[in-house]
Every structure is written in structure tokens, then in C-alpha cells.
Amino acid sequence: MTNKPKKKKKGNKNPHMKRLHNYYQRTGFYMFIWESLKKAFWPIVIVVVALVLFNKYVYNINDGLQTMTETFSRVGVLITFFISETILGLIPPEIFIAWSKKTPEPVINLAILATLSYFGGLTAYFIGRASLKIAAVKNYLEVKMAMHLKNTSKWGGFLILVGALLPLPFAISCLTAGMIKYPFKSVVAFGLFRFVRFAIYAWAIFNMVS
């Protein structure tokens, strides 16, 4: 009498993914991402509406970008962008994406911007590592960013991915990853989604900027 092979249950196709899902559900990761998206939604809407109204009633943004292109050197703009993307993302990258559209080589400049943003985040990672050597800075950051540090420690690469894709400062995610000594190779891998973000935003912005 031959034994028939047992059929695998559909639910056990990928037990690792099931355990991972249960872990993120139990630790509140999904709720954290949902809350982050909700917090980011209205600021984005407000910024977009403000830009539309500013462009219509105050000053033509296309003229401003053209002036920016003619006034500042390409190298100067790129250096400013890299510094911004390294130090907590002080200037919204969308401004520079719109600037690239007004240049003679928009695609090349966009690719350079995306690369600088990516390496700016990696630089921020090492700044985070170095900051731990300064007692005063370490204590300040651990108090002010305690929750972010805790979540990054638990969820690691997913927060790097969120920082790379969503309109949140990528440098802050990388800085925090450096502070908790999150594996650098994982930051390098997840950070590559930064290029996806620039491609999506460029598609939208290039259709808005004449």
C-alpha cells in the first residue's frame, strides 16, 4: 500500500513571511506606518495648494526656476543640494527636481540629483555613527529622537525604505540608523529606493513645470 504525499496547506507556503507579518503586527509596525502616512498626507496637500496659489497670484514659479538656472552655477546648485540632503534634508528636493527640468540636460541632472541624495543619506549614516562619540550630542539625540531610535531598532530597513520613498527627510532615517549601528549594507540596499522616488516625483513635476 503506497502512501500518498501529503498536500501542503496553503497557509504554510511561506512560514517565514507569516512570522514576519505577525511580528510587525504585534510590535505595531503597520500602525506606525499608517500614522506616518496620515501625518504626511495633509502637509503634502497644504504644500501643493500653497504652491499652486503662490504660482497663480504671487509669483510665477517657472520664472523663478528660470532665474535660478541663469543666476546660479550648476556646480553651486548641486553642492547646495548635497549639503541639504546630508544635513537633515533642510531644503525640499522637489525644488531641485523642478530646477533640473529647466536645465539643458534635465535627465542627466535629475540622475545626478538622485545620486547625490542617495550618497547624502549614506553620509548622514556615518555622521550618526560619529555623533555617538560626543557625549552631549548623544544624550540630546537619544532624548529628542528616542521613539524614532526605538522604532528603527525594531524595524530597521523598512524605515530606511519609508525615508527613501516618502516625503520625509531621508537623511534623518539614515542618521538614526547610524546612531543605532544598523548594518551599513542594509542601508545601502534599502536606500536604493531613493532613485525610485526621484523618478516618480520627476514624472509628476516635469509635467507641471513648463
Cα distance between residue 196 and residue 186, in whole Å? 17
Amino acid at 143: V
- pLDDT tens digit at each of 210 positions of the chain: 555 555 554 545 567 677 767 766 776 666 766 766 666 566 667 766 776 777 677 766 666 666 777 778 889 899 989 998 998 777 788 889 888 988 889 999 999 999 999 999 999 999 888 887 877 766 766 666 566 566 656 666 667 777 777 766 788 888 878 877 788 888 898 889 999 989 988 888 888 776
pLDDT score for 206: 84
pLDDT score for 126: 93
pLDDT score for 112: 96
CB of 113 within 8 A of CB of 199? no
Start-to-end C-alpha separation, the chain: 77
pLDDT score for 78: 92
Cα distance between residue 47 and residue 67, in whole Å? 22
Cell 525640499, residue?
Answer: 92
Chain Cα centroid distance, residue 166: 5
Torsion of CA 188, 189, 195, 200, to 10 degrees: -140
Cα distance between residue 124 and residue 176, in whole Å? 9
Domain coordinates of the chain in residue numbers? 28-208
In eight-state DSSP terms, residue 1 is: -
pLDDT score for 146: 62
pLDDT score for 87: 85
Cα distance between residue 178 and residue 176, in whole Å? 5
pLDDT score for 208: 75
